[in-house]
Chains A and B, each alone.
Chain A
Amino acid sequence: MKAFSERIKEEAKRLLEQKEVEAFIGFSKGSLPMTTRPFVARTPEDTEKLVFNSFCVMNLARYLPEVLKSLEPQRKPQDPLPKGPLPKVGILATGCWSRNIVVQIQENQIDRDRVVIVGIKGAGMIDKRKVFAHVGEKEISAVEEKEDKIIVKGPEYEVKIAKEDVLRDNCQVCVHFDPVIYDILLEAPGAHEREPKIERFKQIEEIEALSINERWAWFTKEIENCIRCYACRNACPLCYCPTCFVDDSRPQWVGKSIDPTDTQIFHILRAFHMAGRCTDCGACESACPMGIKMRLLTKKIEKDCLNFFDTEAGLSIDVMPALSTYKPDDPQDFFITEKLFSKDSK
């Protein structure tokens, strides 16, 4: 993994030195084992700090619009963009992140011409919570990463864990490993001939198999610990509304406290806003301090989108997200009608 970090440093340094980009979005080392910190290199010297490993769980596309904006000359909201080419930004992008960049382009949040994408054929990221569970929630003082395993060291122990045993849930079911758009392509160690570890929608089918009441019980239980910190929303590269529906006060759609009804509405609506756009990058779940598996909500919608509209988010710039287009022959039987309801409640 060290050698791969060096490769990224090299590319970033070259881009900054040759003035192809004015900033490069990557990761720097975190202060704790199994953490990394999103980092913007602005000089060739800065690139020395760049690292890449299996703990890069934050989605870098989340920072892309704001870093691009920071390089534009200051202007009032109503003023047009200045003429002439604007500074470019380099960014690392794995399969899912690159698909988020595609959606950002489709939704006019960023300009493709201003982004230099260093694509990464990734091997999936590790869920640090699974590592903690593996060692019985014991203190971890260092983690060393090898090709297919990690070596976890604590005050009085050392264990080797196979990476595939602690891969994040979304990485286990991933089917689009490779970046869909890029200017430079790199391959991370372990990414060669990667295959999904678990069938793509298995996690969803398990919940779908439950009765309506059981599903409701699952949902209410899953989110009962939510503290409404909005880490899931803010980690998402596609949550960019200037005012989120939860922050609106006129009209007020959702209550502000952790009343179960309000929390439920927040999670359901957040998931629906992701319909046809979510790429299952798992940033929401990795960011959640309470370990809520809200990714399963968006995954269900991903499955429905694929079934009903035969589209997946961000696979191609030319195919718009399902809810941004309309075709006369679009299926409509997912509308909740009396018929559907009576069938399901039996």
Chain B
Amino acid sequence: MEPLKIDKENLKDILQVISKDYKTFCPQKTDKGFRDWRIINRDTEFDSEFFSYFDEVTLPKSSIKPFFFPQPETLLTFNYDPKAEDAFLPKQCLDKEPDKIDTVLFGVRPCDARSLILNDMPFKDDPYYNIRRKKIFLIGISCTKQSSTCFCLWTGGSPLGTDGLDIILHPLDDETGYVIEFISKRSEELKDTIFPEKFCSKASQSELDEIAARKEKSKSALKSMPNLAEQLKQKELMAVYNAPFWQDVAMSCINCGACTFLCPTCYCFDIQDEVVKKRGRRIRYWDSCMFPLFTQHASGHNPRGDKVKRVRNRFLHKFKYFPDRFGPVSCVGCGRCIKECPVNIDIREVIRNLLAVK
């Protein structure tokens, strides 16, 4: 479908149109100074601060993971009263309108969007995740600059990547507006409702050429990168498992879950029943391989009792077990773990170490 162009001034109108019909989230400044996903409502101030996100290199603090894999997800509810008619009968909590789009994420970076393609693999048969995938519509924004912690190209992504997105906006060099590219089939159906004609125009040839040239450049940059997944798949499992560098990587680790919880592609969870009075619910909540409890057996034995084993698991899961099983590496190069690790464990150094294993 033909790309459109939207002027900078009209972004506000578009956001107002979209947020009227859908729960619309956009990375906004929080009281703490950082940007994070917040809903757009009547109180939202569409000031220059709000729109500066679209010209900056900053990623929102959280990935889009919580929208698809909420913390927690209620799987089912039950009545805990043994005398009740429905005692202990589980009622599954699945959405009643699974095909209806009800949420729009506006301003998703290509790395975050790509995480969905990767998470789709392990969650292939998960009804809760898949319903959310159908209900959430993603409008992305491509990156024109890179932060010092960005490394999407290493992992097979691209600053202009469209994987996982329905629509992507490309900022124009002259900073007047954005070229709107429609990617998914459902974006064509929604085109007129969310990007109405009165706020958009046809993109001119020179504007299209500008974006095409940028894409070409990014493509050749990607081509010059070594294929990380292929290289890692060829490594012998026990050689990377027993590599001596794990001790050094793990030394400073404090085994908190900051990296795994902020990571868009860490998807491990645990399940628990919560009962309050006679009402119960079964929840699925985030777990982290950094926590000792993650692998603790009922007997008390813990196969990953030492922190070095836990640290190794986090990285080998992303760069060995996942590619061996599904193909790509389970990392999109967003750099959140590098930025937020309290003890500066840098995933890029781990990748270099892994590639150096003979």
Contact = CB atoms under 8 A, between A and B. Distances in A.
**Do the two chains belong together in a single complex?**
yes
Interface of A: 30-32, 35-40, 57-58, 62, 129, 132-133, 137, 139, 141, 221, 225, 227-231, 233-235, 247, 255-259, 286-287, 289-291
B283 A139 contact: no
Contact of A286 (B71, B288, B342): B342
25 contacts: A31-B346, A31-B349, A32-B148, A32-B149, A37-B344, A38-B252, A133-B33, A137-B34, A139-B57, A225-B30, A225-B32, A227-B71, A227-B261, A228-B261, A229-B258, A229-B260, A230-B291, A231-B257, A233-B256, A247-B293, A255-B274, A256-B270, A256-B283, A289-B342, A291-B34
B15 interface: no
Contacts of B270: 256
A26 to B, nearest CB: 11
B343 interface: yes
B212 interface: no
Contacts of B119: none
Nearest to A142: B148
Contacts of A62: 254
A31 B261 contact: no
A207 B148 CA distance: 38
Interface in B22-63: 30-34, 36, 57-58, 61-62
Contacts of B62: 227
B340 interface: yes
Contacts of A221: 31
B272 A256 contact: yes
Contacts of B257: 227-231
B338 interface: yes
A270 to B, nearest CB: 13
A257 B285 contact: yes
B262 interface: yes
Contacts of B344: 30-32, 35-37
Contact of B147 (A35, A139, A229, A291): A139
A234 B148 contact: no
Contacts of B338: 31-32
Interface in B241-274: 251-252, 254-258, 260-262, 270, 272, 274
Contacts of A291: 32-34
Contact of A287 (B149, B342, B349): B342
A32 B283 CA distance: 38
Contacts of B288: 229
Contact of A231 (B30, B61, B147, B254): B254
Contacts of A141: 148
Centre residue among A31, A37, A137, A225 by max chain B CB count within 10 A:
A31
